[in-house]
Structure formats: structure tokens, C-alpha cells
Amino acid sequence: MKFEKISGKTLRQRIYDQLRRSIISGDILPGESISLKDLSEQFDVSIMPVREALWQLESEKIIVINSNRSIHVNKLTAKEMEEALQIRIILETQASRLACERRPESAVKEVKILLDSMISLIKNPKKYIDKNSDFHLTIYSYSESPMLLEIINMLWARVGPYFIIHATNLEDLYHTVEYHKKMFGAFANRDKRMITEAVQQDLENAARLIIPHL
């Protein structure tokens, strides 16, 4: 993994954003150890803003800081992933329905560009899953529900790495394209019933691929 050097007034937030993205994208894997000293050197900053960013990640249960100060990315059991799935279905279907109601017309073009980009990356599982995250979260962003989005983002950070780890079967990825096309069509037509169905199908399909490996 390689991080950009940090500058500016919001060191902690920018470090947090990069670390969180690296965890979601699988650059740092569940269970993998993290060195405070190594991170401060890579970011080219003092230890304090890195420590503060790690504290924030710990508060969201994305990482674990043990009493002996060892740090690693949190892991999920099969039971926890099942629970996360049920919570995600409730939250993400709600966000998608609200997005259908509240989106501006310009949002349709933006989401279509993300869908096309995601499909073009189908033979690169890591990039495909990364763009998949952008696709979902962009749709949800039009719900105009900051608290709802905050919780959804926290859950994505917990489950995201597992999608990268297990997205190695291209047949499975091709299967997910249909769910995303259905999501886009529902979003464009403000069809709340259809987008609820498509989001639930997509989340359940992904979880069923992952849970047997946990």
C-alpha cells in the first residue's frame, strides 16, 4: 500500500479518509496489523494526527487497538456479517427510496456514468468493487439524510474489505451487473418499489457469497 503525503489544515480528517478508503478497498485486510510509526512516515506527518485518525476508526469499530497498543483491522464473523446484512437492507433500501423522491434530474446522468464505468471494469474485480461502492453511495447521497448516510458509511467500512477479498469469480460479478442496472432504472424512474427490490437482491447476493468463507 502507498499513501499520499498530507498537507493542509485537516490532517486528522485527511489521514482518516485515506486509511478508511484503503480498508474498504482491501489494501489493508481484515486482521492485518497497522504500525503507527510506519503510517506517520508514509504520510510524512507527526504521530499525533495519525493516532487521532486511528482513534476515530476505532470508535467506529473499523480497527481494534489492544491494551498492548497493537493495532489491526477489525474482522467479522459469519454471524456478524449476517447481522450487518439485515441492518444494511433496512438502511440502504430506505436511503434508496428517499433518493428516488429527492434526487434532481442531473443525478440520473451522474449515476449512469458511474454504472457504465463500473461495468467497464468487470474484468478487474478490485476496481469493479471499488466503483460499486461509489455507485451505491452516490445514489444514497441523494436521500439528503446525513445521519442515515453516516451509519451506512460506517457499515460499508466494516463489510467492504470482504467484497474485495471474495470478488474473484467473474461469473458472480457479471451476475451483479443486472442488479445494478435494475437499481439505475428504478432510480431514473423514481420507482421506489423496484429500487427496494434491487438493493435487497444485490446485498443478499453479495452476503451469500461471502458468509460461507468466514
| pLDDT one-digit tens code per residue, 164-212 | 887 656 667 888 999 999 999 999 999 999 999 999 999 999 998 889 8
Q: How confident is the model at residue 1 (pLDDT cuts 50, 70, 90)?
A: low
Mean pLDDT for the chain?
91
CA–CA distance, 166 with 171 (Å, rounded to integer): 12
Beta bridge partners of 73: 63
CA–CA distance, 130 with 95 (Å, rounded to integer): 20
pLDDT at position 6 is: 60
Q: Which of 15, 23, 7 is nearest to 130 (CA)?
A: 23
Percentage of the residues of the chain whose pLDDT score is greater than 90: 72
| pLDDT one-digit tens code per residue, 60-107 | 999 999 876 789 999 999 999 999 999 999 999 999 999 999 999 999
Q: Which of 3, 19, 32, 21 is nearest to 131 (CA)?
A: 21
For residue 128, give Cα distances in angstroms to 46, 109, 135, 147, 182: 34, 19, 10, 27, 17
Q: Which residue has the cell 458468509?
A: 211
The DSSP symbol for 211 reads: G
CA–CA distance, 88 with 137 (Å, rounded to integer): 12
210, 172 in Cβ contact below 8 A?
A: no
CA–CA distance, 90 with 97 (Å, rounded to integer): 11
Q: Is the pLDDT of residue 10 over 60?
A: yes
pLDDT at position 213 is: 84
CA–CA distance, 24 with 17 (Å, rounded to integer): 11
DSSP SS3 for 8: coil
Please state the pTM of the whole predicted model. 0.89
Domains of the chain and CATH, by start: 11-73 (1.10.10.10), 78-213 (1.20.120.530)
